[in-house]
A and B are shown apart, each in its own frame.
Chain A
Amino acid sequence: MTATSAASMAIQCEGITKVYPHFQLNNVNLSVEEGSVMGFVGPNGAGKSTTLRIIMGLIAQDSGSVTVLGNAMPEQQIAAKRDIGFVSEDMRLYDSQSIGFHMEFIRSIFDSWDDNYAGQLLKRFDLVKNQKVKGLSHGQRVKACLMLVLARRPKLLVFDEPTTGLDPVARHEVLDEMISTMEDETRSILFSSHNTLDVEQISDHITFIYDGNIVDSRDKESFLDGWRRLRLEIKDTPQLFDFPGIKDVQQSGHLAAVTVSDFNDQLLRQVESTGHKLLGTERMTLEEIFLTSVQYARGVSQ
């Protein structure tokens, strides 16, 4: 999957480092092409939220450069945030006020606010304008935050765990709205999620982060194509597995399941040349790919 060479980047992070007493982001590189969806996957504490906050200019990086919509962050964050819609899991609206209060507030700040679209979103998300925020369920609250962001049609959406904790119906509604923003090819989405199914479905590119380091970053099809589980029957000749990209080996008796991350025809020939019998290859789900990557990264760091 080749990218157009002149594609502009909505987000470009190079060599981001941030040091905290008990955690550190190391040399993080992350790029989101304009018009694409980037899924950001990692376990809790891996550095997803920190990275997203650095991208939003809320935290200043210790070193490295961040450019968002052409703006250097955090210096030009005001200009950048005019066109970014940010929703995070730890975000709350004002309890004592109504959804309508927040809509008025946002409208007073953003010229791009579309009242009609906001009304449509209220209906679609099944929200009541006059309802006070404190009476909303978790799912309704997330949808309200989303509506406030979507109604001003920002060029870039940055979502930290947008579907976490939502019931299936709400999740479906949120994903639907996220996808429909992609109708405009100048808009981009960066979202972090635990839900690998969602990431697998709507992402063009996927980045794995673990323990403050980027573990892997490819376009989705490359991930799903490149990772395979090879089922082998081990011959008694002690020819070890000597092909590149082995991420995991599960062996029981003469059967082995070898997980590789860079599967191609050449690899297939190399496998055949080891003398072991290839019983079959299986594609893996993003969840399995992610778990194996993390396991491998953990093993490597030890």
Chain B
Amino acid sequence: MSQSIVRQLVVKDLMIMRNFVMLYWLGGFLSVAFVVLASGEVASTIGSILFIAAMAGAGVHALFQTIVEEKIKMNLPFIMSLPVTVREYTSAKLIANLLIFGSVWLTLSAASFVVFVGDDGMPVGSMPFLSIVLVGILAAYTVMLTITVVTASQGYAIFATVLGNLGLQALLWYIADLYPVRSFIGGNEAVWNTTVVSILCIFIAAIVGMLVLAVVLQFRKKDFI
């Protein structure tokens, strides 16, 4: 019975977000098309920026709309009066947001590997770094997700978004500068050395850790308000 409540809550959030989610998907696909069809350094840079914007947009927008807005716009008492506890509510928010962001992230990530296809394609040496960027984005997102879910505060959510974006950029610059990474970008061979693999593992651990943290912190709460 309570499983179906979680489902209805998720469906409700997806329905409310659906127009914007479609726009972000559209933006994302356009950016991939841009990168693939246009040629030149500038084009691919613009394309990648749009690409990241689409992902970040979908993720952040959903976080604000489904969690922060719900509290600010006083929708929370309406939801709380339904047969739910903090647990079902949290589960529904995590699932809805991961679905929205995750679906955009997954498809665009998969699509992005298209750039390596063909003779004109990007050199395969960049594949490990691209993977690090994509998983890094997912990790940064789960940090934002956890902070937003646990605090449900506009202030903290904005802070988390800034932290997530800028923090990730800084981190990626640092990683791109590491010798074991930088020396193979643009090369003809995809090298998955220890550095690359460790970085990916740390990111994945962070993703799992953040989600577990969100659940643990929320499930301990006794007051909805």
Contacts and interface: CB of A to CB of B under 8 A. Distances in A.
Asked if A and B form a direct contact in the complex, defined as CB atoms under 8 angstroms apart, the reply is yes
Interface of A: 53, 56-60, 74, 77-79, 81-82, 84-88, 90-97, 101, 105, 108-109, 145
B84 A78 contact: yes
| Interface footprint category on B | 20 to 34
A58 B225 contact: yes
Given A58-B225, A94-B75, A78 B83 contact: yes
Nearest to A145: B78
Contact of B222 (A74, A87, A90): A74
A96 B16 contact: yes
Interface of B: 1-2, 4-5, 8, 11-12, 15-16, 73-75, 77-78, 80-85, 88, 222-225
Contacts of B5: 109
Contact of A90 (B15, B74, B82): B74
A44 B164 CA distance: 42
15 contacts: A58-B77, A59-B223, A60-B222, A74-B85, A74-B222, A78-B83, A81-B81, A81-B82, A86-B77, A88-B81, A90-B77, A91-B77, A92-B74, A94-B73, A94-B75
Contacts of B75: 92-94
Nearest to A102: B78
Given A59-B224, A86-B81, A92-B74, 4 more contacts: A53-B225, A56-B80, A59-B225, A108-B11
B223 A92 contact: no
A91 B85 contact: no
Contact of B8 (A58, A97, A108, A145): A108
Contacts of B73: 92, 94-95
Contact of B80 (A58, A101, A105, A108): A58
A5 to B, nearest CB: 32
Nearest to B7: A108
A78 B2 contact: yes
B81 A109 contact: no
Contact of A84 (B16, B78, B81): B81
A78 B12 CA distance: 19
B83 A105 contact: no
B85 A78 contact: yes
Nearest to A53: B225
Contact of A91 (B8, B78, B222, B224): B78
B171 to A, nearest CB: 36
Nearest to B224: A58
B69 to A, nearest CB: 9
A56 B81 CA distance: 7
Given A88-B77, A92-B73, A79 B83 contact: yes
Task: Pick the 8 closest A-B CB pairs, nearest first.
Answer: A86-B81, A60-B222, A92-B74, A91-B77, A81-B83, A58-B224, A78-B83, A59-B223
A58 B225 CA distance: 7
Contacts of B82: 81, 109
A301 B88 CA distance: 43
A105 B84 CA distance: 14
A77 B80 CA distance: 10
Nearest to A80: B83
Contact of A97 (B16, B74, B77, B222): B16
A105 B7 CA distance: 11
Contacts of A91: 74, 77-78, 81
Nearest to A59: B223
Contact of A58 (B2, B4, B11, B223): B223
Nearest to B74: A92
A87 B81 CA distance: 8
Contacts of B2: 78
Contacts of A78: 1-2, 83-85, 88
A93 B88 CA distance: 19
